[in-house]
Structures are given as C-alpha cells and as structure tokens.
C-alpha cells in the first residue's frame, strides 16, 4: 500500500538558531526521516513532563525537495506519512503548523500546504 503524502513548506534553522550544522539532503537520491510535531512554528524546545517528552511525534520521510537548501529560506517539499494507517496523522491537515524534530531538537518549522491521498 502506498502511503499518503503532504506538500509542505518548511524552513530549516541555522546552527545559531538551534538547527543542524548542515541542511539535510532532500533530493530523490536521499531520504530524510525526522518527526513532525503539530504545534506553533515558534516552538524551539520540547515539552517535557519530568524526563518524558509530552508531545506526539509523527514519523515522516522527505521524499522530494530541492537538492540544495539554505538556512532560513522557505522551500516546498513532499513528505510521506510513514506509519499510516497505524498512526493517526489527522492533525497534519492543510494549514497546520509543525516543527521538525531530530530527537527532541527542533531543526525546522513549517506549514502543511496540501494533503494528498495514497496513490
């Protein structure tokens, strides 16, 4: 079964803003597999309850995007919903804001532009 995808606009953060040392490779030859957390794009720290992350992490794969990225510049990308239908991705609907996570670190933020059905 082919998984549904989302067209998103995402902005990767520079190291000075808590992001990665180098932007990820998003082209078709690589597959970047972070998590998305539906929340305001201004969030920069994980919400913790004691020593436990208290947020819903949604596993995705960036399957299409520009070969070259610059920090702070919005880009359109296609992401696959890796664990659909076992995991609910209903909150990732058109207009939803999210952060991109590598572990608890926020490395980018974005907005869902379009949700596409499995094809």
Overall number of domains in the chain: 1
Distance CA 2, CA 82 (A): 10
CATH of the domain at 59: 2.40.30.10
Burial letters for 50-60: b for 16+ Cβ neighbours within 10 Å, e otherwise?
eeeeebeebeb
What is the token pair recorded at 88?
A: 């609910």
Residues 78-117: tens digit of each pLDDT: 999 999 999 999 999 999 999 999 988 899 999 999 998 7
Q: pTM of the predicted model, to two decimals? A: 0.88
Residues 31-72: tens digit of each pLDDT: 799 999 998 777 666 666 666 666 889 999 999 999 889 999
Residues 17-31: tens digit of each pLDDT: 989 999 898 866 667
3-state DSSP call for residue 17? helix
Domain span at residue 63 reads: 5-116
């Amino acid at each position: 079964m082919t998984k549904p995808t989302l067209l998103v606009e995402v902005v990767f953060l520079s190291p000075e803003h808590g992001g990665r040392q180098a932007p990820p490779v998003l082209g078709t030859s690589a597959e970047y597999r972070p998590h998305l957390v539906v929340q305001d794009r201004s969030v920069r720290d994980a919400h913790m309850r004691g020593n436990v992350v208290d947020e819903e992490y949604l596993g995705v794969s960036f399957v299409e995007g520009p070969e070259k990225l610059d920090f702070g510049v919005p880009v359109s990308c296609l992401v696959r919903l890796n664990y659909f239908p076992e995991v609910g991705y209903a909150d990732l609907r058109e207009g939803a804001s999210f952060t991109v996570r590598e572990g608890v670190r926020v490395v980018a933020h974005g907005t869902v532009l379009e949700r596409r059905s499995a094809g």
